[in-house]
Amino acid sequence: MPTMRRTASPPALALLGLGVFLLVLAPMLTWYVGPHAERTPTDVNVTSVFKGQGKYFDQQKLKTRSGQELTVTRRVLGDVAASEKTGRAVWNVSQTIDNPRTAELDDPRKSFQWTTERWVTDRRTNKPVACCGSKPAHFSGEAYLKWPFGVAKRDYTWWDSTLGGAVPLHYKGRAKVRGYEGLRFTGTVGPTRAGTRQVPGALVDRPKSAQVNAEEWYANSGLDFIVDERTGRILYAATGPRMTLRAPGGKSDKVTLLESRKLAFTKKTRQDAVDFAEDDNARLRMVGTVAPLGAVSAGAVCGVAGAVLVIRGRRLRRTPPGMSRHPVGA
């Protein structure tokens, strides 16, 4: 009687193995790769522009000019080498404030105001980290150049560099920017002493003093942000700064250095922010949702098909007729 031996075909086994691999890959993408993809980028190169009407102090004419177009330009450039070395997000930030005259010069050194900072944050939590030459050396808050990933519908603290401290921002619901929906946060800053500046005494009603260390005071009538819920990217920002001088120990403002009821992202900056947010979300969805679902679906199909082929496609290997089942000479 012929003997029989059941064997599965190599294609069937390969298909079954592929299905098992994809089914194992899906949870890894969901629980490991996806969360690890939510990291603050290190290779950023973004320019944001705010514009609005306001007033500023003309140092040449020694008077405050009203009804002027003010421009705030913020450039953020990632220090990739430092980021890779430390595992942090290291961003160099340059910000200029320009009036119509200085805007034409296109030189940060000649701007009405020019500040530089070096921000170092944890790539996962977005919390500030005091290292790697960070400037300011000590700062706090939950948000500044961006919010954390997975923005919640609650109040946040935002670091205000002019104030040199964190400001509470209150959640105000959902809002749209260029048709793209985000979460809105607003806040204000009451008049607060922010530093000193040496000026002629006469400028702050101290004519008998050639120079005095006048007090710089800062307030903000309207901080307004719309933030992408998943990535924490700022889609829209507006600010209402007021910077003044007071005599030492004075109770009232004597000089308005800068004031605007609203400096806001330009249309181009808003559109760029929305485009970046859409790209970021698409990548995160691909890793965290689309790819795992695709892996589950494809894995299930391959696994079932492979199993069916293994079961049904086993072939019978028969011993050729006429041959003995026992060795010769047995």
Among 67-76, 216-225, 228-237, 287-296, the least confident range: 287-296
Predicted confidence (pLDDT) at residue 34 exceeds the cutoff of 90: no
Could you read off the pLDDT of 133-164 as tens digits, one per residue?
Answer: 898 888 888 998 999 999 999 999 999 999 99
Q: What is the mean pLDDT of the chain?
A: 83
Could you read off the pLDDT of 181-233 as tens digits, one per residue?
Answer: 999 999 999 999 999 999 999 999 998 889 999 999 999 999 999 999 999 99
pLDDT computed for residue 85 by the predictor: 92
Q: Return the closest-CA partner of residue 218 out of 136, 156, 168, 160.
A: 160
Q: Can you tell me the distance from the alpha carbon of 313 to that of 315, in angstroms, rounded to the nearest whole number?
A: 6
Could you read off the pLDDT of 161-181 as tens digits, one per residue?
Answer: 999 999 999 999 999 999 999
Could you read off the pLDDT of 79-109 as tens digits, one per residue?
Answer: 999 999 999 999 999 999 998 888 888 888 8
pLDDT computed for residue 312 by the predictor: 63
- Cα-trace Rg, the chain: 32
Predicted confidence (pLDDT) at residue 4 exceeds the cutoff of 70: no
At position 215, the amino acid (one-letter code) is E
- 3 state DSSP class of 59: coil
23-49: average pLDDT: 68
Predicted confidence (pLDDT) at residue 257 exceeds the cutoff of 60: yes
At position 82, the amino acid (one-letter code) is A
pLDDT over 70 percentage in the chain: 75
Could you read off the pLDDT of 107-127 as tens digits, one per residue?
Answer: 888 898 899 999 999 988 899
Q: Can you tell me the distance from the alpha carbon of 52 to that of 263, in angstroms, rounded to the nearest whole number?
A: 5
Most confident of 197-206, 260-269, 288-297: 260-269
Residue of 15 and 240 predicted with greater confidence: 240
pTM of the shown model: 0.78
pLDDT computed for residue 330 by the predictor: 39
Strand 89-98 versus strand 113-121 pairing type: antiparallel
301-312: average pLDDT: 57
Predicted confidence (pLDDT) at residue 299 exceeds the cutoff of 70: no
Confidence grade of residue 328 (pLDDT, cut at 50, 70, 90): very low
- 3 state DSSP class of 49: strand
Q: Is the separation of the CB atoms in 199 and 211 below 8 Å?
A: yes
Q: Can you tell me the distance from the alpha carbon of 323 to that of 321, in angstroms, rounded to the nearest whole number?
A: 6
